[in-house]
Amino acid sequence: MLTASPFIDVLKGKSVTHVWRGYGSAIFLEFGALTERKRCGDTLSQPNGELTLMIEWSWRVEKPRSILAGSWSSERRWPSVFKRLIGCEVRQVDFLGTLPEISLSLSKGLRVVSFMTAEGQPAWALIARQPNLGSLSVKRGRLYVEPLDS
């Protein structure tokens, strides 16, 4: 758990500034100041935050006593749920289970949780650009830090 401490310290207190959907049911939560980035030519891509939480699939957003939506919910629900996350501040970061899943407790009583339901490893990553801590994910069943430059 020692490798996760710098990520937790930087993430706590940050606000969700942007939420977007990747391919399929992948979601990206951006925290802190946003930086615009360009794709090929002049086309703008999704902005990056100081930190990004990527959950490839199998995720849910919880209220205190129920699930608002998840990766298996109707995709029509997602935009309104993503909008509710904007402005929420990270209160607590936890890692759950033998194979670590990530859980973010946010202000407004909301929580974002990953939970892989297929073979392999939990499919989430926490990418810290400011400060450049690299990427925290799960490799061989343990928390793993990969430098951002690699």
Return the pLDDT at 12. Answer: 98
Indicate if the pLDDT at residue 132 is higher than 80.
yes
Using DSSP's 3-state secondary structure scheme, residue 48 falls into strand
pLDDT for 26 beyond 70: yes
Is 70 exceeded by the pLDDT of residue 127?
yes
Domain ranges of the chain: 2-146
Sheet (strand 90-96) strand order: 67-70, 59-62, 111-114, 101-106, 90-96
State yes or no: pLDDT of 1 exceeds 50. Answer: no
User: Which residue spans within 10-110 are E strands per DSSP?
Assistant: 16-21, 27-31, 51-55, 59-62, 67-70, 90-96, 101-106
CATH of the domain spanning 2-146, picked from 2.30.310, 1.10.3120, 3.30.70, 1.10.20: 2.30.310
- pLDDT for the residue 2: 53
Give me the percent of the chain exceeding a pLDDT of 70.
Answer: 93
> Tens digits of per-residue pLDDT, 53-105?
999 989 999 999 999 999 999 999 999 999 999 999 999 999 999 999 999 99
Predicted confidence band at 150 (pLDDT cuts at 50, 70, 90)? low
